[in-house]
A and B are shown apart, each in its own frame.
Chain A
Amino acid sequence: MNDTVRQFRDFFVSLKLTVVLLVLSMGLVFAATLDQVNLGVWAVQAKYFHSFFVLWKIPGTDVPLPVYPGGYLLGGFLLVNLVSAHIYRFKRSWRKSGILLVHTGLMLLLVGEFLTGILQEEYQMALNEGQTKNYSESYRFNELVILDTTDPKFDDVVAVPEALLTTGSALQHPKLPFRVVTKEYYPNATLSLRRGATGENPSLATAGIGPQITATPQPLTYKQDERNWPVVFVELLGPEGTLGTWLLSPQLPAPQTFDYGGHSWRLALRAERAYKPFSLTLLKFTHDVYLGTDIPKNYSSRLRLTTPDGKDDREVLVYMNNPLRYAGLTFYQASFDPSNDHNTILQVVRNPGWLLPYLSCVMMTLGLVVQFGIHLLGFINKRRAVPATPA
């Protein structure tokens, strides 16, 4: 073993590292808990736990500085530390089989959390009775979509995640005969109609509905029951020059359309979509409340699941604690629109690592039982071995 490898091994096997990592983890959880007041649960998860470093932007700039190890880094190092300790430090014996089980369960928990963090997708699918959808929508992320709607059978979609829509950014996509330039982006804004009053700033928008609307930037909200409504002004630039600047917002109830280059186009800023290779139709939504209250007693959705190839065409019932699991996705009965009794909202989750936490809990419980059992047996045997003293 050369020096470099030994240095790595000593670093990772060290018990000091374990202690440092645990202390840092406590600090991370503490800071994240305090910051939840400012950022809300989603942003805190992303900033502190689903990251390698906690980043801090230098005031007045967009330059992020890593200021503290994030959840992935601490969890990853803890995992490597634990595995290394088992390889190089711990002695394997039957008497410590319980500890081995507990540690293996812990490793699985760390791996499971990492997989959940990077692979889990959480969307929602809102359906009215009779409506069919083959996509779910994000409730936190939006996307700019430019659809070529010329073909009567399908739409060609170019989707740009909201994260790329920073002011001044430009995009040239091979499927688009024009460049898309973000002239202004507000992460949260309210819309109101222009009154035509004197002194009103002219709109950046020159096409579509935008010239009639004023967008007023608002501070970002992190409350769980509120959402941010972004607004973006995008200019489309063809070889001949500008085609116009559009104001786009998920608050606008309909996409905006235009014709260019013999094609029909549609523009919108909408909730990010995830398309599925199957469709769900809401046949019936049932919603009962406890008598005299608005508290939901139970609510359920009878759905029809169909695949384009006809292999699947069946009815399914989704209700509280009875999700539909299909094609690696889980559909939970999540909510409904209080103003519309014929509407259901399903939470759509993809989590390939969903079994690991259960497995790890079972292993850790078993490990603790085994370890305590071994000690208990040893203790009992020791007591039996003591000769009875004569009366």
Chain B
Amino acid sequence: MRRVPILLLLVSVTLLSACRQAKVTSYRAPKETPDPLPPGLATASTNAASAPRPGTPAPPAPGSDMASTAVPTAEGSDLAWTAPAGWKPKAPGAMRKGSFTVPGPEGDADLSITAFPGDVGGELANLNRWRGQIQLAPLASGDLTTATTRLQQNGLSFVLVDFVSLSATKPARIVGAMVPVNGATWFFKLMGPDPTVSAAKPTFLTFLQTVRAPAAP
């Protein structure tokens, strides 16, 4: 009997330990436009608010570079390529098809190869997504012709772009290519400090020449 109060105290402390519980909350938040990548994937979407609108600024990528975030990749057989010897292969992660570190004079650049089903929102949305990643204003649909270079090689139709952001103290550059293959869109993006990407651009273009479509079954 002497120990009953002490036991009661311990039991009450035990119960107290169960008091911290996660709770469902609800609140009203300011309107937020989600990142436009990749609207083509949300096949069930009928919400116009979430779709990218040409001419509206692309929201900047969140803290982790969205383009580097693992994303679903396209169906079907993969493209094949031969990477230059100087590029250091990285673990591609869950959803990148390929990933390389491209060393350069002003720090490393990142080369990512991703693929998504469908057209992933179209050329303009994708190019503006890339522009947003280096703080460039979005293009209007009329600017597409001047901003892109179209290239046919190995039976593939590449759309090439070269964007540079010189406003910052450390200018950033993206040299990228998009190519539709078997109902999917493949993205080859070289992004990093301007001097590194500029220096690596010829190698990148040579690299693109090695990209081959899957052999027909």
Contact = CB atoms under 8 A, between A and B. Distances in A.
Contact of A343 (B13, B22, B63): B63
The interface centre, meaning the residue of A149, A244, A254 with most chain B CB atoms within 10 A of its CB, is A254
A213 B65 CA distance: 22
A385 B69 CA distance: 79
A51 B20 CA distance: 10
B34 A213 contact: no
Contacts of B24: 158-161, 164, 171, 173
B73 A256 contact: no
Interface residues of B, number: 65
A162 B22 CA distance: 9
Interface stretch (A82-90, A93-101, A192-200): A192-200
A121 interface: no
Nearest to B117: A212
A312 interface: no
Interface in B83-131: 94-95, 110, 117
B28 A157 contact: yes
A128 B62 CA distance: 7
A52 B28 contact: no
Contacts of A254: 34-39, 41-42, 50
Interface in A113-142: 118, 124-131, 134-135, 137
A258 interface: yes
B146 interface: no
Interface in B128-164: 133-135
Contact of B71 (A53, A161, A196, A251): A251
Interface residues of A, number: 77
Nearest to B66: A253
A66 interface: yes
B23 A155 contact: no
Given A52-B17, A130-B135, A266 B72 contact: no
A251 B26 contact: no
Interface in A151-209: 152-164, 171, 173, 175, 190-196, 207-209
Contacts of A131: 59-60
A213 B25 contact: no
B63 A192 contact: no
A304 interface: no
Contacts of A159: 24-27
Interface string A320-363: 00000000000000000101111101000000000000000000
Contacts of B61: 128, 340
A53 B17 contact: yes
A256 B74 CA distance: 18
B44 A339 contact: no
A342 B168 contact: yes
Interface string B42-68: 111111011000000001111111101
Nearest to B129: A253
B64 A126 contact: yes
7 contacts: A7-B2, A8-B9, A154-B31, A155-B28, A155-B29, A171-B24, A259-B46
Closest 8 CB pairs of A and B: A126-B63, A52-B17, A257-B47, A161-B22, A128-B60, A163-B22, A257-B45, A190-B94
Interface of A: 4, 7-8, 11, 51-53, 66, 70, 72-73, 76, 118, 124-131, 134-135, 137, 147, 149, 152-164, 171, 173, 175, 190-196, 207-209, 212-213, 244, 251-259, 264-266, 275, 286-287, 337, 339-343, 345
